[in-house]
Amino acid sequence: MAANEYAISKLHTGVKGLDELLYGGVPEGSQILLAGDSGSGKTLLSFEIAYNLAKSGKNTVYITIDQSINSLMKNVANAFTGMRDIDELRSSKKLSIIEKEIDTAFKSRENLLMFIADAIKMTEANSSKVLFLDSLSLFRSLMENDRAFTSSMNYISESFSNVGLTTFMIMEDSMNELDRVPGLLEESMFDGIIRLTKKTGQTSPMRHFATIVKMRYSRYLPNSVPFEITSSGIVIRSPQGML
């Protein structure tokens, strides 16, 4: 049997250092949870991945839930001054950014099914196989309890996986542990989990760290590694130094 007979196609994130930690990128069709502290860089990292995929020719859909498109674009523009072709990517439909309210999405099974169907339709309309949901934090606040949230998230992950979408789901998580996600969320429902944290010492500036908690169908480096947010994008350092 050839060593690469069951090789998995990967999406290269284009984020400096991240693809090296993932041994080439994210396996296509994966359901990825990007969790982290408030202000840890979750939205910036997810947007940069979406931007890089769009630039590489992968039509990408980015659904913003927690903030308006204008607010999202201002935050991105302030952080990534080197990204000057975002409007061009949006105009060409390579990067489709959609603002969606979900205040009733989890009030009933019918509304949940409608939310999932709408998201899938958005990707189909854009001929896209990559979807970003930013973020799930509001989803959780709308649920009656953690068990209901877990059940809904499992159904969402399965639904997107069944139609072949690679999905990045962003969620705020203030836990310190790097080997699990909060509440009743089961790691088994996600193919990959990436956690971002921030640390500030009494005499040192704030530092950001990224950890690949899990990634099915791929080798990965589980080390917690520092990263910097630069004008041209995020730069993740390897355990051996700058990649």
Rounded distance between C-alpha atoms, residue 105 and residue 96, angstroms: 21
Query: 96 in a domain, yes or no?
Result: yes
Number of domains in the chain: 1
Q: Would you say 31 and 192 are in contact if contact means Cβ atoms under 8 Å apart? A: yes
- Do 35 and 196 form a contact (C-beta atoms < 8 A)? yes
Gyration radius from the chain CA atoms: 17
Task: Write out pLDDT tens, residues 32-47.
Answer: 999 998 889 999 999 9
CATH number at residue 183: 3.40.50.300
Q: Is the pTM of this model over 0.95?
A: no
Q: Spell out the per-residue pLDDT of the chain, length 243, in tens.
A: 344 545 789 999 999 999 999 999 999 999 999 999 888 999 999 999 999 999 999 999 999 998 999 999 999 999 999 999 999 999 999 999 999 877 665 667 788 888 899 999 999 999 999 999 998 887 777 777 777 888 888 899 999 999 999 999 999 876 544 444 444 455 668 999 999 998 876 666 778 999 999 999 999 998 899 999 999 999 998 665 444
**Both tokens of residue 185?**
């969320």
Q: Residue 2: what pLDDT?
A: 42
* pLDDT at residue number 8: 84
The reply to whether 231 falls in a domain is no
CA 155 to chain centre: 18
Q: What are the percentages of helix, strand and coil residues in the chain, rounded to 5?
A: 30, 25, 40
The residues pairing with 172 across neighbouring beta strands, listed in sequence order, are: 36
Q: Is residue 99 part of a domain?
A: yes
Q: Is residue 225 part of a domain?
A: no
Q: Please, what's the largest Cα pairwise distance for the chain?
A: 56
d(CA 231, CA 94): 22
pLDDT score for 175: 54
pLDDT of residue 183: 46
Instruction: Output the pLDDT for position 106.
Output: 60
Q: Does residue 32 form part of some domain?
A: yes
Residue 241 lies in a domain: no
Please state the φ and ψ torsions of residue 73, each to the nearest 5 degrees.
Answer: -65, -35
Q: In terms of residue numbers, what domain contains 63?
A: 28-195
Q: What is the pLDDT of residue 200?
A: 74
Convert 134-169 to b/e letters by CB count within 10 Å (16 or more is b). bbbbbbbeebeeeeebbebbbebbebbbeeebbbbb
* 117 assigned to some structural domain: yes
- Assigned domain for 21 exists: no
Q: How many helices (H) and strands (E) does the chain have?
A: 7, 12
